[in-house]
Amino acid sequence: MLVLLELQSYNDFTMPFRLLVYMTAIWLDHFKNCDKNKRSQKGYRLPAIMPIVLHNSERNWTASCKFSQMISNAELFGKYVVDFEYALISVNTLTESKISNSNTLIDNIFLADKKRTRQDWTDNIAELMHRIRAMDTNDLNEWITWFSNVIRKLNEDERGELITQIKEGDEKEMCSSFERLLNKEKAEGWKDGREKGKVEDRAEAVIELLEDLGELSDSLKICIMEQTDLELLKKWLKAAARAKSIEEFEQAVGLVHI
């Protein structure tokens, strides 16, 4: 069995379709690389894939977990519609004490992902690095690959230095380097991250208000989540708070045809 993990910091209403694309690509690769005689036999099977979404936002996940809910009039075709459901794990609901009971790759990604501020990182860096370096080599390399994406604003030399120290360096020196690089990350990148977070939070707040009025179409949800203009989202939030129906909101903000 294969496990497909998707880390997500905001609601993505196209998630079932995205996962289907990923799984299809995996199966296609498996099929192409399988011996032709073997795959033509009656007993040939594709590998099972377990899709899991790891949600690391403080807001609730409101996107559908079932693929069929993205299909128009799926209920008319019953079992003949392609369908699957992914598992949803909210990192925010996991306590650090529960995560700390074991020391797997996923545990340490969860633990690192819960460090939302620079202070969180600097206060706990020594303990976290000790756990990470205690993992086996394969898990350590996978964690470093994940973490490299987190610190992507650092240049190649800085990333290389930090990764080398995580693997081999003195723990005290490693922690000092890590804090120094976090300062750089904060100065150069965290402003953009905060702005993106504000946009996502505002869009999700609009959706939450509208969901109190009724069921939203996927197209409307996608339209709101794809909006990146913070000032416009502020106006939409006010409109959603005043609206007595979803239709009234759409008319107020000019989304009548969404």
As averages over each run of 10 residues, the pLDDT of the chain (258 residues) reads: 83 91 94 91 93 82 91 91 92 69 77 64 71 82 74 65 70 66 56 61 86 84 84 89 89 70
Q: Which of 60, 67, 71, 62 is nearest to 85 (CA)?
A: 67
| Helix residue ranges, H only, the chain | 15-32, 36-39, 96-99, 105-113, 118-133, 137-150, 156-167, 171-185, 191-211, 218-225, 230-242, 246-253
The closest alpha carbon to 249, from 230, 226, 231, 233, belongs to 233
- Tell me, yes or no, whether 68 lies in a domain: yes
Distance CA(229)–CA(77), nearest Å, equals 39
Classified as helix, coil or strand, 2 is strand
Instruction: Say which residue the tokens 């953009």 belong to.
Output: 192
CA atoms of 5 and 56, how far apart (whole Å): 13
Query: Do 62 and 211 contact (CB within 8 A), yes or no?
Result: yes
- Cα angle vertex 120, ends 114, 125, to 5°? 95
Residue 8 counted as domain residue: yes
Question: Left (φ > 0), alpha (ψ -120 to 50) or beta: where does 162 sit?
Answer: alpha
Q: Can you tell me which residue has the tokens 């490693």?
A: 174
Last residue of a domain, one of 78, 93, 108: 93
In a domain, 21, yes or no: yes
CA distances from 38 to 32, 42, 122 (A): 11, 9, 53
User: Residue 5's beta-bridge partner residues?
Assistant: 52
The owner of tokens 């409101």 is: 62
Taken as a whole, the chain contains a residue count of 258
Domain boundary among the residues 93, 118, 153 is at: 93
Within a domain: 199: yes
Quick one: tokens of 136? Answer: 């086996």
Identity at 56, one-letter amino acid code = N
Residue from 61, 40, 43 nearest 52 by CA = 61
Grouping H, G, I as helix, E, B as strand and the rest as coil, residue 48 is coil
Whether the CB-CB separation of 190 and 154 falls below 8 Å is answered with no
Question: Residue 221, class by beta-carbon neighbours within 10 Å (0-12 exposed, 13-18 middle, 19+ buried)?
Answer: buried
pLDDT of residue 179: 65
| Last residue within a domain, chosen from 72, 93, 114 | 93
CA dist., res. 58 & res. 143, Å (int)? 23
Residue 216, domain extent:
195-253
In the sheet that 49-55 helps form, which strands lie side by side, from edge to edge? 2-8, 49-55, 87-90
CB 206 within 8 A of CB 233: yes
Within 27-114, strands assigned E span 49-55, 87-90
Q: What is the pLDDT of residue 258?
A: 41
Asked, for residue 204, whether it belongs to a domain, the answer is: yes
Question: Total domain count for the chain?
Answer: 2
